[in-house]
Amino acid sequence: MPVPAVNPFKQKLLRGEPQFGLFCMSLTAQTAEALSSCGFDFLMFDAEHTPTSLPTLYTQALALAASTTQCLVRMPSLDPVLFKPVLDLAIDTVMVPNIRTAEEARAAVRAVRYPPHGIRGVGGSVRATGYGRHADYYAVAADRVCLLLQIESAEGLRNLDAICAVDGVDGLFIGPVDLATDMGHLAQATHPQVVEAALDGVRRIRAAGKAAGILAAEAQAAMYVDAGANVVCLGSDLGVLVRNADALAARWVRAEQAP
């Protein structure tokens, strides 16, 4: 079973190339495979806000294996136990939600690193090691693994410089919906105060030398790219599906049923 020697998502990140993708809230390998031919740089399978499971993530990772679209997972939380099977599945890029302090950032780094730099346990016959065939995996794992931390609170933004300074953090990803909510603008990601805070966050992240990510609707994406964002989630798979299905239905079903 071929296991890539490098993490193409991280390589592009290090080169500063912008990457575009979608959150994946759907739970099937079939959808992941269908989307893998769109040409997105990545799909971010969401284990925070979906009832996904490790076997589901495994089949979705397999569905992307033949494509250039990289498989990313948003973890449900900072719980270090949960990182082990995801990384062992050779899902090399993980994003941790709602990081608020440098101490939490350091805990996330420890979760993805083997001792003495962290607490990741050693899996033997797992996908990441080619089921035990690639003993050199352990030595290169820190280079392969890419760690993104989500900033989605005013506290996280206040501590942004300290979080950016944590060694082992590759990128910071602003979650504008939760940030808006934390700022008192319930789920209003495009509220002017939220946009201003997110733009300022993106600029500070890039100035600190880290990759800057954000979730942005198409209408806002260029503004964030211009500010320096280089990992952009353009929405979600189910968002795209529902919006287009609703529009199609509105053009036909309701029109046909109108008296």
Is the CB of residue 45 less than 8 Å from the CB of residue 73? yes
What tokens does 125 get? 């016959």
**Displacement of CA 99 from its chain's centroid (Å):** 13
The residue type of 194 is V
Tokens 């939600």 correspond to 97
Residue 93 zone, left/alpha/beta (φ > 0; ψ -120 to 50; rest): beta
User: Which residue number, 118 or 156, has a Cβ lying nearer to ligand LXDSK4UY?
Assistant: 156
The verdict on 251 binding ligand LXDSK4UY (CB under 6 A) reads: no
From 7, 9, 21, 23, residue interacting with ligand LXDSK4UY (rule: CB under 6 A): 23
The verdict on 78 binding ligand LXDSK4UY (CB under 6 A) reads: no
The verdict on 152 binding ligand LXDSK4UY (CB under 6 A) reads: yes
Is the CB of residue 245 less than 8 Å from the CB of residue 252? no
Nearest distance, CB of residue 91 and ligand LXDSK4UY, angstroms: 18
The verdict on 153 binding ligand LXDSK4UY (CB under 6 A) reads: no
Stretch that binds ligand LXDSK4UY, among 58-66, 84-92, 174-182, 217-225 (CB under 6 A): 174-182
CA atoms within 13 A on the CB side of 20: 13
From 142, 177, 223, 240, residue interacting with ligand LXDSK4UY (rule: CB under 6 A): 177
Active-site annotation holds for 49:
yes
Which helix (H) or strand (E) segment holds residue 42: the answer is: strand 42-46
User: Which residue number, 171 or 176, has a Cβ lying nearer to ligand LXDSK4UY?
Assistant: 176
CA triplet 208, 145, 42: central angle to 5 degrees?
A: 85
The verdict on 176 binding ligand LXDSK4UY (CB under 6 A) reads: yes
From 4, 5, 11, 49, residue interacting with ligand LXDSK4UY (rule: CB under 6 A): 49
Alpha-carbon distance 210 to 128, whole Å? Answer: 26
**So which residues are the catalytic ones?**
49
Residues making contact with ligand LXDSK4UY (CB under 6 A): 23, 25, 49, 150, 152, 175-178, 215, 236
